[in-house]
Amino acid sequence: MKQSLACLIALATFLDPGFAEDKPLFNGKDLSGWSGLEEFWSVQDGAITGHTTTEQMVTENTFLIWEGEASDFELTLKYKITDSEGKSEGFGNSGIQYRSKVVKPEYFVVSGYQADFETTKTYSGILYEEKGRGILAQRGQKVVIHEGESEVTDAKGKVKKVPNIEVTGSVGVSEEIQAGIHPAEWNDYKIVAKGGHLQHYINGQLTVDVTDETAVGAKSGLIALQLHKGPTGMTVQFKDMILKELK
């Protein structure tokens, strides 16, 4: 009887976000509650797994989308990413979308905030806006995004408009943050979003701290996992995904 009651409580917790503070987004067995291109997503070794090869490549960035929405929350998970050889020396790029929206349903394409990670050493931990404003915070930066746009001149002398981003401080040295990331192994990722305040952590280290003051900055939306188009194949895995809604 005790075991049956525990099972019922666990099931209710999974199905009803208001039942408990922590909500598992992945049951560790199958892709129930998620939608994506079936030929690229599966569950392997108890983890959500996205896999491409040079012979079977996505035609554009595609996503596995959780069938729910979140506004103010703390999301924790573990991730691992490897290149086509199962190492961290070649191509591998992915991320966790949040407060996002579907823009191409037939190929499971979304736009919105993204907590990035990769096999190489530049983008893990940054804040990127997929199909939007691009990079909003580099790793190690504390920034405020103001209304309006700024004009910059690129290397070819062309003037273009970019988000009005003010770097107000630092949360760490990029190279030191990277040194704390485990190549081709499991790492912890945490995303905290409350109002316009967004924070990313990898293995307990704050990687960016962003205040988005703009009207275009989404306050709620989808959570999704990215499988990035690339020149070669890659494998990305996710597990232990827990969503905690913030009040």
Structure confidence by residue, pLDDT tens digits, 81-122: 999 999 999 999 999 999 999 999 999 999 999 999 999 999
Alpha carbons 119 and 45: distance in angstroms, whole number: 20
Predicted confidence at residue 54, as pLDDT, reads 94
> Rounded distance, CA 179 to CA 175, Å?
6
* Digit-coded pLDDT (tens) for 36-82: 999 999 999 999 999 999 999 999 999 999 999 999 999 999 999 99
Q: Any bridge partners for residue 66, and if so which?
A: 34
Between CA 198 and CA 209, with CA 204 as vertex, the angle to 5 degrees is 25
170 C-beta neighbours (distance < 10 Å), count? 11
Instruction: Please tell me whether residue 25 adopts helix, strand or coil conformation.
Output: coil
Cα distances (angstroms) measured from residue 92 to each of 56, 121, 127, 166: 15, 11, 17, 30
Average pLDDT over residues 198-225: 98
Max Cα-Cα span within the chain: 73
- Is the pTM for the entire model greater than 0.75? yes
In sequence order, what are the beta bridge partners of 128? 114, 135
Contact yes or no for 225/43 (Cβ under 8 A):
no
Q: What pLDDT, on the 0 to 100 scale, is given for residue 210?
A: 98
Contact status, residue 198 vs residue 232, Cβ threshold 8 Å: no
What pLDDT, on the 0 to 100 scale, is given for residue 11?
45
- Beta strand 73-83 with 47-52 is unpaired
Beta bridge partners of 226: 63
> 207: buried, middle or exposed (CB in 10 Å: 19+, 13-18, 0-12)?
buried
pLDDT in tens, 135-146: 999 999 999 999
Average pLDDT across the chain, whole number: 92
Catalogue all structural domains in the chain, each as residue range(s) with its CATH number: 24-245 (2.60.120.560)
pLDDT band, residue 1 (cuts 50/70/90): very low
